[in-house]
Amino acid sequence: MNKKNFTFILSLLLLNLIFRVEVNTATQDSYYIPTNADVDHPPKNILVGSYVGGRSHIKPMLDIAAVLSERGHNVILITSGNYTPASEYPTIKQISFGPAFDVKKIRSVANLMHKEFDFTKFAFMYEMGINTYEDAFVKYKNVAIDQNIDLFFCHAMVNDACLDAGRALNKPVVGFMSYLNAMDLKTYKSDPLFRCNISLENESFLERFKCTIVQPLRMLNIVNYFSNQLNDLRSKMGIEQVFMSPMRLAKNSLVLIDTFFGFELPQTVPPNIQEIGPVLSKHYPPLTPELSDFINGHKRVLYVAFGSRFFTTIENNSKLLQSFIEAINKKIVDGVVWALSQTPEDDFYPTLSLSDGSQVQTSLILNNKHPHIHILKFAPQFAVLNHTNTKLFFSHGGAGSTHESLFTGTPMLVIPLGGDQLGNAQKVELAGMALSVNKFALDVNDIIKHTKSKRKYRAADLIEYILYRNNLDNDSNKELKEWLPASTRMGFIKGNNYDIYGTILGIALGLIGGILWITIKSIKFIAKKISPSPNQKPKRE
Ligand SMILES: *[C@@H]1O[C@H](CO)[C@@H](O)[C@H](O)[C@H]1NC(C)=O
Ligand SMILES: *[C@@H]1O[C@H](CO)[C@@H](O)[C@H](O)[C@H]1NC(C)=O
Ligand SMILES: *[C@@H]1O[C@H](CO)[C@@H](O)[C@H](O)[C@H]1NC(C)=O
Ligand SMILES: *[C@@H]1O[C@H](CO)[C@@H](O)[C@H](O)[C@H]1NC(C)=O
Ligand SMILES: *[C@@H]1O[C@H](CO)[C@@H](O)[C@H](O)[C@H]1NC(C)=O
């Protein structure tokens, strides 16, 4: 990012601060009425699985799991590393895959973070999924058998092992995702991952052709390559093969999507795919006394957090830090809180040269010696966003962060780094939360009205439905028949009525052809009648 970009961002900062609209935060009390579900329903054992881990992936799943746990169920989380803020969910047991999954160790990831991100860069995810599949599958399966698990609640990204293990043990599998396009793609939607607009509504024919035919075919080609590798592994391990387990999930099972219409572009979804977002916690960790003092002592705080899984280059880190110092010097903000989870000190240049020529030592700032910059590893994000002094959230645009910011009404400045974040950035922009200040004033109250999140209780209800539905036959766990639209069973052609349309087109073409044929024949016939044929001798009478 160059200086021009930063000037641009700083002017946006200024704009946002000036036009900052105070929005009363809605209370997060929940008003769900306990059902008598526990009357004759014995508690069940639920496995929550996410291979990649990371707070933004796991937290919403745990918020739903916490409701299930309140209702008497026994919940076990399996993920890599230790989910650090475990104190938030004291009722949930945790089993670890081993050391935390370190995104930085994978070379290709490090490269792709700094380039324009599109689906062609997904290869690293598939590679990672394949490399870890066998271990993960065995672990999921063993834990499920040991703990007598009744239901698998799997994050559906890079987690084929969880989806397959549930199926292999003939247990119901419920999927979780924040990216609706991956589960139910509509012809009128696309994504910056395909280098396309999130909405194809106003795109040209060529653009729509690219976004619905060309790019998906290119992606299919990549997916196919990795899917074959994973299937080789599956057949070696005696596991049922499948083209893509998330696709099978979308076709056969309940999938909970952590998004909501208003943020997500509206579309219809089949009954087995349910949007239950934004999932928000009932209790959020409060500000630590230190952080509370810092934010109370500053009136215009910029909060910066790029999520626990993303990081950038030394050059960019240094530029970010420098721009924050300059923003303070220019009195655009008076305080900066930066949650820097993946970034050690050696990811910065040791000294920064400011534009006024002065030098600053990075280590002093990173050790919180600067009076107006507070750096910490893990910030209680919701509490920070909820504070009236926090005027702007500089974010990577992950789903969880975006939802929290929408909920607290904190304007966002989004730098999407990859994945679904590019689409999220466009969505908040369209919702008027970022950049466009006037729209922001109009929309946030509206959005808040729709997002007083009680929807995780719905998610928990849905999961309980799956737990207690009468399993009529041995395969009922593999297919949620009662909720699947018939079109999923009818195949592509019948499901879309293409055979009918084809027949009608055929009949229409036939009729048109027939009419043309008759017309031409008639014209010829009449022409013949009128003009004398050349071999007929002209009659002379
Ligand atoms: C990071 O810095 C590089 C140059 O070193 C630049 O090309 C890139 O756009 C930057 N990326 C982000 C996400 O800031
Ligand atoms: C997407 O389409 C909308 C409406 O046509 C337009 O305003 C917006 O700039 C487009 N975004 C991109 C990234 O092309
Ligand atoms: C496309 O254009 C129509 C008409 O101008 C407008 O109402 C609609 O909001 C646009 N769609 C998007 C996604 O920008
Ligand atoms: C959010 O802010 C409101 C009003 O300032 C306060 O009543 C509420 O307790 C805060 N919630 C959290 C979780 O910090
Ligand atoms: C389910 O499977 C068991 C053993 O595999 C079999 O005995 C039983 O008849 C099956 N039940 C149904 C309804 O198919």
Least confident of 9-13, 64-68, 138-142, 169-173: 9-13
H/E segment holding residue 394: strand 390-395
CA 474 to ligand 5: nearest atom: 1
Q: Residue 520's pLDDT is what? A: 95
Question: Which of 114, 312, 314 has the most ligand 1 atoms within 8 A of CB, as the residue to mutate?
Answer: 114
Whole-angstrom distance, CA of residue 381 vs CA of residue 453: 17
Best of 1, 347, 348, 414 for a ligand 1 pocket test (most atoms within 8 Å of beta carbon): 1
Burial 474-503 (b: 16+ CB within 10 A, else e): eeebbbbeebbeeeeeeeeeeeeeeeeeee
CATH classification of the domain holding 115: 3.40.50.2000
Q: Is residue 399 part of a domain?
A: yes
Residues 138 and 226 in one domain: yes
pLDDT classification of 86: cutoffs 50, 70, 90 = low
C-alpha triplet 271, 274, 277: angle, nearest 5°: 165
Shared domain check, 230 and 362: no
User: What letter does residue 153 receive in the DSSP assignment?
Assistant: E
C-alpha 265 to ligand 2 mean position (Å): 13
Phi and psi torsions of 353, nearest 5°: -100, 120
Residue 8 falls within a domain, yes or no?
no
Protein residue with least CA distance to atom 2, ligand 4:
386
- Same domain? 304 vs 170: no
- Beta bridge partners, 275, equal 257
pLDDT at residue 403 tops 90: no
> How confident is the prediction for the chain on average, in pLDDT?
81
Classify residue 56: in a domain, yes or no.
Answer: yes
Q: What is the structure's pLDDT at 115?
A: 54
Residue 490 domain boundaries: 486-518
184 and 250 share one domain? yes
Backbone phi and psi for residue 524, each to the nearest 5 degrees, phi listed first: -60, -45
In a domain, 304, yes or no: yes
Give the count of beta carbons closer than 10 Å to the beta carbon of residue 359. Answer: 8
**Is the pLDDT score of 4 beyond 60?**
no
Whether 197 lines ligand 2, by a CB cut-off of 6 Å, is yes
Q: Residues 68, 174: one domain?
A: yes
Q: For residue 450, is pLDDT > 70?
A: no
pLDDT (0 to 100) of residue 489: 85
Ligand nearest to the CA of residue 387, numbered in listed order: 4
204 lines ligand 2 (CB under 6 A): no
Mean pLDDT of 506-530: 94
Q: Is 450's C-beta closer than 6 angstroms to any atom of ligand 1? A: no
CA separation for the pair 168, 160 (Å, rounded): 12
261 CA from centroid of ligand 3 (Å): 17
Pairing state between β 173-177 and 390-395: unpaired
Q: Note whether 265 and 308 are same-domain residues.
A: no
- Assign residue 106 a region (left: φ > 0; alpha: ψ between -120 and 50; beta: otherwise): beta
Are 271 and 305 part of one and the same domain? no
Closest atom of ligand 5 relative to the 472 alpha carbon = 13
Ligand 1 atom at minimum distance from 313 CA: 1
Q: How far is the CA of 443 from the centre of ligand 2 (A)?
A: 19
Evaluate if residue 498 carries a pLDDT over 80. Answer: yes
Q: What's the average model confidence in pLDDT over 475-494?
A: 86
Q: Are residues 449 and 501 in the same domain?
A: no
Does some domain include residue 527?
no
pLDDT band at 64 (very low <50, low <70, confident <90, very high): very high
User: Do 268 and 483 form a contact (C-beta atoms < 8 A)?
Assistant: no
Span from the CA of 428 to the centroid of ligand 2 (angstroms): 13
- The pLDDT assigned to 161 comes to 96
CA distances, 532 to each of 522, 524, 535 (Å): 16, 12, 9
pLDDT for 131-170, tens place per residue?
A: 999 999 999 999 999 999 999 999 998 899 999 999 999 9
Lowest mean pLDDT among 207-211, 254-258, 454-458: 454-458
Rounded to the nearest angstrom, the distance between the alpha carbon of 5 and the centre of ligand 3 is: 28
Q: One-letter amino acid identity for 537?
A: K
Residue with the smallest CA separation from ligand 2 atom 4 is 202
Three-class DSSP category at 176: strand
**pLDDT attached to residue 474:** 75
Token pair, residue 117, equals 């991100």
pLDDT at 425 over 80: no
Length of the chain: 541
What's the chain's Rg over C-alpha atoms? 29
Return the pLDDT at 126. Answer: 86
The pLDDT-based confidence of 248 (bands split at 50, 70, 90) is: very high
What CA–CA distance (Å, rounded) separates 151 from 256? 14
Residue nearest to atom 13 of ligand 5 (CA): 473
> Does 193 or 443 have the greater pLDDT score?
193
Residue 460 lies in a domain: no
**97 and 244 fall within a common domain:** yes
What pLDDT score was predicted for residue 536? 57
Q: DSSP for 290-324?
A: HHHHHHHT-SSEEEEE--SS----HHHHHHHHHHH
The pLDDT > 90 percentage for the chain reads: 41
473 lines ligand 5 (CB under 6 A): yes
Share of the chain above pLDDT 70, in %: 79
CA of 9 to the centre of ligand 2 (A): 20
Tell whether 370 and 233 lie within a shared domain.
Answer: no
Max avg pLDDT among 86-90, 153-157, 471-475: 153-157
Residues with CB under 6 A from ligand 3: 199, 201-202
pLDDT of residue 331: 82
CA 43 to ligand 5 centroid distance, Å: 24
Q: 88-93 long-range contacts, Cβ below 8 Å, gap at least 24?
A: 88/62, 88/281, 88/283, 88/285, 89/62, 89/65, 91/66, 92/48, 92/62, 92/65, 92/66
Nearest residue (CA) to ligand 1, atom 6:
1
CA of 405 to the centre of ligand 4 (A): 13
Per mean pLDDT, which range of 44-53, 152-161, 257-266, 339-348 is the poorest? 339-348
CA dihedral (344, 417, 401, 48) in degrees, to 10, reads -80
Among 51-55, 122-126, 132-136, 207-211, which stretch is predicted with the lowest mean pLDDT?
Answer: 51-55
Q: From residue 397, how far is each of 124, 144, 281, 424, 471 by CA, in Å?
A: 21, 34, 19, 6, 41
Spatial distance between the Cα atoms of 307 and 341, rounded to a whole number of angstroms: 8
With a CB cutoff of 8 Å and minimum separation 6, the contacts of 309 are 52, 54, 56, 103, 342
pLDDT in tens, 202-229: 999 999 999 999 999 999 999 999 999 9
**Which stretches of 184-324 are assigned E, i.e. beta strand?**
255-257, 273-275, 301-305
Best of 471, 473, 474 for a ligand 5 pocket test (most atoms within 8 Å of beta carbon): 474
Per-residue pLDDT reduced to its tens digit, 299-325 = 999 998 887 666 667 877 787 788 888
Q: What is the pLDDT of residue 124?
A: 77
- The yes-or-no verdict on residue 81 having pLDDT over 90 is no
28 has a pLDDT exceeding 60: no
Closest atom of ligand 3 relative to the 197 alpha carbon: 13
The pLDDT of residue 96: 84
Number of domains the chain contains: 3
Does 337 share its domain with 436? yes
131 and 261 inside one domain = yes
Is the predicted pLDDT of residue 363 greater than 70, yes or no? yes
Please give the number of the atom of ligand 3 that sits closest to the Cα of 198. 13
Domain-embedded: residue 81: yes
Residue 15 falls within a domain, yes or no?
A: no
Pick from 454, 478, 501: which residue ends a domain? 454
